[in-house]
Amino acid sequence: MAPLEITSSRADPALLDLPWDQPLEDWPEELLAALPRGISRHVVRFARVSGQVLALKEINHHLAQREYDTLRVLNRLGVPSVTPFAVVSGRTDRQGEPLDAVLITRHLQFSLPYRAVFSQVSRQDTAQRLLDALAVLMVRLHLEGFFWGDVSLSNTLFRRDAGAFAAYIVDVETGSLHEELSAGQRHYDLDLARTNIIGELMDLQAGEMIDPEADPVEVGDELVARYEELWEALTSRERFSADERWRVSARIERLNALGFDVGELEITTDLDGTTLSIRPKVVDAGHHSRRLMRLTGIDAQENQARRLLNDLDQYIADTEQQAEEEEFVAHEWLQRHYEPVVRAIPRSMRSKLEPPEFYHEVLEHKWFLSEQAGHDVSLDDTVRHYILNVLIHRPDEKSLVTTETSALPIIEG
């Protein structure tokens, strides 16, 4: 009998207690997390190990190891993706027959598969907001030289991000990392994304989960347009006259507004010095997230960070502290505004929303209540009203879904 092998950056001895000599589909229910399983080409199960939820996918050893290594690279690059935990190989059943390896990833807390999004969110622009998030994710992957090869809503998880969504890549079985992607590779991913998304939206229409009058083809075309617009903004060369040098700073500010930081600028001049051209080297997304983390220590999605920073700016103006050190005022805002709001969440409701998303929704609710009342409603009153009238009715999202991306029964094979 071949020895069991566990490849993991942080080996957990509790993994040894799991029944690796049984196919995943035969594992006893008492070992599994009570989470909905998603559509997958492989058998997928979820287990609670050492207080955390892990997703286990039964797969060929070579593919399992390759996907584990790829996810580790994407994590190091800071690309939004699930986190690899381990690969278990050398499995045999009780008769000594070989079993496939198992890829283990961590469950992405507060994440939603696209079907769960549509079942919970009734806004008409839901599809557009998901595709905006997917377009940003694709651009980030392509800037890093990552060819996905299997782009779809089903291979993506979504987390709420201050009225929008942030997308995370889940399945990287077909992905590969390159020094730089060719236009052909990028457009292959883009065309595949359009085709798959049109099919997925048609499937949602058949299940009466979205407006039957919506045009999936139009939505797929909008994804392509959004991607091309973002790619152009981040990578195109811009030409202007030598006396318009202010446009260099304006370009950087525009990229920062999109959530991207610029590492360096390639600036060239004509021989006679009459015109300049610049091309930015975008180093990373998360401009506002990093600024918020630096000022307050709050770990938030990009739009959440933008919203919280706006509230911080408003606090600075309201307290007339524009001349003070930003870090000092940010600490004061954290203690007087953000932390009291977050601490007000009842313990029994803390799995419903992440703290930055809760704070964002409280700010939105404050605006709504103030407009209704015709005067400014205090933050304390808003928090109480939101908890009792809105939050209490929301589903728990911390572990609502799995690292697979559908609430449908599993398809195995």
Q: How far apart are CA 215 and CA 202, in angstroms?
A: 9
Among positive and negative, which fits the CA dihedral 283, 289, 291, 294?
Answer: negative
Helix (H) or strand (E) holding 312: helix 302-318
pLDDT at 336: 92
Question: Nearest to residue 137, comparing CAs of 223, 236, 251?
Answer: 223
250 & 357 share domain: no
pTM recorded for the entire structure: 0.75
> 276 and 388: one domain?
no
Distance of CA 222 to the CA centre of its chain: 20
28: which DSSP letter?
-
Cross-strand pairs, 281: 264
Do both 264 and 225 map to the same domain?
no
Residue 366 lies in a domain: yes
User: Which helix (DSSP H) or strand (DSSP E) does residue 253 occupy?
Assistant: helix 246-257
Same domain, 300 and 364: yes
Give the integer Cα–Cα distance in Å for 261 and 253.
9
Long-range contacts of 407-412 (CB under 8 A, 24+ apart): 407/36, 407/38, 407/113, 407/115, 407/116, 407/119, 408/38, 408/39, 408/115, 409/37, 410/37, 410/38, 410/39, 410/40, 410/43, 410/44, 411/39, 411/40, 412/25, 412/40, 412/42, 412/43
Looking at residue 58, its pLDDT comes to: 93
Same domain, residue pair 258 and 246: yes
Residue (of 297, 289, 267, 55) closest to 157 by Cα position: 55
Range of the domain at 142: 111-235
The answer on 250 and 222 residing in a single domain is no
SS3 letters across 313-343: HHHHHHCCCCCCCHHHHHHHHHHHHHHHHHH
Task: Please check whether residues 96 and 120 belong to one and the same domain.
Answer: no
User: Are the C-beta atoms of 174 and 203 separated by less than 8 Å?
Assistant: no
Q: What is the mean pLDDT of each run of 10 residues along the chain (413 residues)?
A: 76 85 88 60 82 88 94 91 92 91 89 79 74 91 93 89 86 92 95 94 86 87 92 83 75 78 72 70 74 89 88 90 89 93 92 91 93 91 94 76 36 30
Phi/psi at 241 (5° precision): -75, 160
Report the domain count for the chain: 4
Domain boundary among 270, 285, 300: 285
- Using the CB atoms, write b or e for 258-291: b if 16+ within 10 Å: bbbbbeeeeeeeeeeeeebebebebebbbbbbeb
Check which CATH number belongs to the domain holding 126 and give it: 1.10.510.10
Residue with tokens 């610029």: 262
* Residue 226 shares a structural domain with residue 319: no
The rounded Cα 384 to chain-centroid distance in angstroms is 29
In this structure, is residue 133 part of a structural domain?
yes
Asked whether residue 277 is assigned to any structural domain, the reply reads yes
Rounded distance, CA 79 to CA 70, Å? Answer: 11
Considering the domain architecture, whether residues 229 and 120 belong to the same structural domain is answered as: yes
* Cβ atoms 7, 90 nearer than 8 A: no
Q: Tell me what pLDDT residue 191 has.
A: 96
Looking at the fold, whether 140 and 88 belong to one and the same domain comes out as no
Residues 91, 151, single domain; the answer is no
Q: Are residues 305 and 278 in the same domain?
A: no
In a domain? residue 404: no
Q: Which of 205, 235, 265 is the last residue of a domain?
A: 235
